[in-house]
Amino acid sequence: MSAFSDPEIIRMAQKQYIAVVGDDWYQRRRDDEEGRFFRSVADQGPRKGLGGTTRQGIYCFTAAGKLLAYCNNIDPEKMRNAVKKGLTEWRLLPESERRPGEVAVDNSPGSDARYSRRPPTDGLILNVYARILDHDAKGEVCAGSCKIVGGDRASRDHMWLTRADWKSLVPDRPVSGATIPLPESIADRLVRYHLVDNTRGEPPLWQREDVRSRHLNLMIEHVSDSSVKMQLEGAVLLATDADVTRADRGFDVQLLGCLRFDRRRQAFDRVDIVAYGKHWGDGAFTKGARKGKSPLGIVFELARGDTPADQVPPQGAREIAEYLGRLNR
């Protein structure tokens, strides 16, 4: 069990804390009130971020920014102890330090736009889940096992499509049976930023030169007055060396998907894609990969886009201009 599936930790987070989440990569860099407040809290702990390094962790602090407890471990017992310590320290504070409204952070005008990420206007958000897999005694695909805590659970990310992206998926005059290449901007983003093994942490993303082969096509299955149904098919080979047998990291993967466009609403109402293949190798922050080439599955599904969780930016969006192929204005 990981810390964030522990019932007691969940209860304390919901009932006795106000939960706030932020990506340390952004928070430690942004030059605005929010960033300065975060760093003032983090610098009271063991990770002071000297030289701009990570301040990753779980912080329990007051509204005025006083650090009460810190933990950077997914072990339930260690996290539980830290959260309890925060509550104990809180109760020891004088009443004057426990009142709400001790600090106000303005997150509107004046925020550092360089580190603000919002889904593209009128775009699409896809949920992306990756999971290590295996084969049972009958040769059927089953859940995989991993020595790294949490490495056998599904990871989560998002893929963003701009309005121009999703409109490029639907031909002006679709014809049943026709086949078209997956648009370049979408194919590049899907392959380089989302066909990754992020089950044990933040993986290195693929460079353009790592894409050894890529064949992704959309076949138009059915066209009616109300909808256009398309099937995505393809294969991708990714490897960190041109000689794949020498590559430290790679992914040989097949893709199959179903996309449906509502012509009356001018919107996609279904995007389901499955990627399955053999992955190998790890990265600086994803140590503990299984030996040799192992099955990895990745699925993409259309997100509703109306919950806070849906707004979490893709990992690849840290370099937003590269991720979208342009500045996200």
Per-residue CA distances from 43 to 38, 65, 74, 184 (Å): 9, 11, 21, 44
pTM of the model: 0.89
pLDDT of residue 103: 63
pLDDT of residue 326: 59
- Could you tell me the two tokens for 139? 């040769």
**Of 190, 146, 143, 196, residue with least CA distance to 166:** 190
**Of 295, 236, 305, 241, residue with least CA distance to 269:** 305
**Of 246, 268, 247, residue with least CA distance to 259:** 268
pLDDT of residue 327: 43
Gap between the Cα atoms of 225 and 71, Å rounded: 56
Per-residue CA distances from 121 to 63, 92, 151, 328 (Å): 33, 47, 34, 9
Task: Give residue 217's identity as a one-letter amino acid code.
Answer: N
pLDDT of residue 169: 97
**Of 133, 181, 191, residue with least CA distance to 159:** 191
Query: Which residue intervals of the chain are DSSP H helices?
Result: 7-15, 24-27, 33-42, 76-92, 163-168, 184-189, 320-324
pLDDT of residue 48: 83
- Could you tell me the two tokens for 229? 């149904």
CB contact set of 213 (below 8 Å; sequence gap of 6+): 235, 236, 237
Residue pair 215/230 in contact (Cβ under 8 Å)? The answer is no
Angle at 126 between CA 122 and CA 131, to 5 degrees: 170
Residue pair 227/263 in contact (Cβ under 8 Å)? The answer is yes
pLDDT of residue 109: 60
Q: What is the mean pLDDT of each run of 10 residues along the chain (329 residues)?
A: 82 92 92 92 88 88 94 90 96 87 61 90 96 94 89 94 96 95 97 96 95 98 97 98 97 98 96 98 92 96 91 94 71
pLDDT of residue 200: 92
Task: Give residue 150's identity as a one-letter amino acid code.
Answer: G
Gap between the Cα atoms of 122 and 139, Å rounded: 44
pLDDT of residue 102: 62
Per-residue CA distances from 289 to 81, 155, 213, 306 (Å): 30, 14, 23, 35
Task: Give residue 233's identity as a one-letter amino acid code.
Answer: E
pLDDT of residue 328: 38
